[in-house]
Amino acid sequence: MARASCGAGAHGPVCTVVAGTTPGEMRGTLRVEDALGLVTETPVELRLRADDSDTDKDGFPDAVELDSEDDRQAFRRWFVTLAAAQYPKPDPHWPEVHQDCAGLLRFAYKEALKAHGAGWRKGRELHTASAPDVRKYHYPAVPVLGDKLFRVAPGAHDAKGPLASAFSASASARWLLSANAVRIPSGRALPGDLLFFEDPEARGMSYHSMVYLGDLDGLGPEVVYHTGPDSRPGGSKGIVKRVLFKDLLSHPDEKWRPRDDNPHFVGFYRWKILD
């Protein structure tokens, strides 16, 4: 929420506006008293727009990035909680048509940015029920982007360009990797970071994504992922799996091992709104 205060300056009235993250209008009265005690009142209207600048040129407006450590930690806790909660039974609010590896990331991301009041919590079984919410904004009232959370274009954010050509309510694993996250060293992974793999032989879904959960239950770090649908005739729709990271390192199919010497492992990534 924006706040405004006005006073007398050397050359006339001076107003200071502290803008929030939500655009809108402010109306009020500018009251100025001169040196002789004469008071004048003038109606004023301020029209506020969201700051759509992208100073770090990462493709996301600064207003969307979570710039406080408290908000980053809140997002991580909710994102991890929601991703982990899709095993063994997916949330009924996660549409079946979006249930694949990228869909798991998108669902947990969107839900993590919501306000988690009593109505939202009703009927949900969560690992962490008392995590604080992100405070900067709540989906779908996201500054600049609204409900189009995911970038689907390369390069920096162009404030003059059409939003729909650069952001979407959905994005493939390839776009999540290339435009919505940044690569980090394997040893720096934190709960809520992402793993990506590439399988060029997979038909239609060459990129695969997972969520790094960290150690939730004292058994060691885990990952959660959706296997994705089987594209073969009569194939299954896929399921959510949650496995120990150490077991993934010894996966019977070497292309799914998150090792730097595995050519199919693209690496660990972090959401740009956290970086």
pLDDT tens digit string along 243-261? 999 999 999 999 999 999 9
Query: Do 264 and 198 touch, CB atoms closer than 8 A?
Result: yes
Indicate whether 16 pLDDT > 60.
no
Indicate whether 236 pLDDT > 70.
yes
The helix (run of H) or strand (run of E) holding residue 150 is: strand 150-151
| Rounded-to-integer distance, Cα 60 and Cα 81, Å | 24
- Please report the pLDDT score of residue 127 as a whole number: 67
Mean pLDDT of the chain: 89
Return the number of other C-beta atoms located less than 10 Å from residue 191's C-beta: 20
Among 93, 121, 81, CA closest to 224: 81
| Rounded-to-integer distance, Cα 13 and Cα 99, Å | 57
Query: Do 44 and 257 touch, CB atoms closer than 8 A?
Result: no
pTM of the prediction? Answer: 0.85
- Please report the pLDDT score of residue 226 as a whole number: 98
**Per-residue DSSP letters for 196-241?**
EEE-TTSSS--EEEEEEEE-SSSS--EEEEE-----STT-----EE
pLDDT, tens digit, for every residue of 72-83?
999 999 999 999
pLDDT, tens digit, for every residue of 123-153?
887 866 678 999 999 999 999 999 999 999 9
Domain boundaries, the chain: 3-48, 66-274
Indicate whether 87 pLDDT > 60.
yes
Indicate whether 13 pLDDT > 70.
no
Residues 6+ positions from 103 with CB-CB distance below 8 Å? 94, 226
The helix (run of H) or strand (run of E) holding residue 104 is: helix 101-112
- Please report the pLDDT score of residue 89 as a whole number: 94
Query: Do 265 and 245 touch, CB atoms closer than 8 A?
Result: no
Q: What percent of the chain has pLDDT over 90?
A: 71
Mean pLDDT of 187-207: 91
Would you mind telling me the total number of residues written for the chain in this entry?
275
Tokens matching residue 134: 């992100």
Query: Do 199 and 206 touch, CB atoms closer than 8 A?
Result: yes
* Residue of higher predicted confidence among 24 and 124: 124
Return the number of other C-beta atoms located less than 10 Å from residue 84's C-beta: 23
Indicate whether 12 pLDDT > 80.
no
Mean pLDDT of 2-20: 58
Mean pLDDT of 18-44: 72
- Please report the pLDDT score of residue 37 as a whole number: 80
Query: Do 192 and 84 touch, CB atoms closer than 8 A?
Result: no
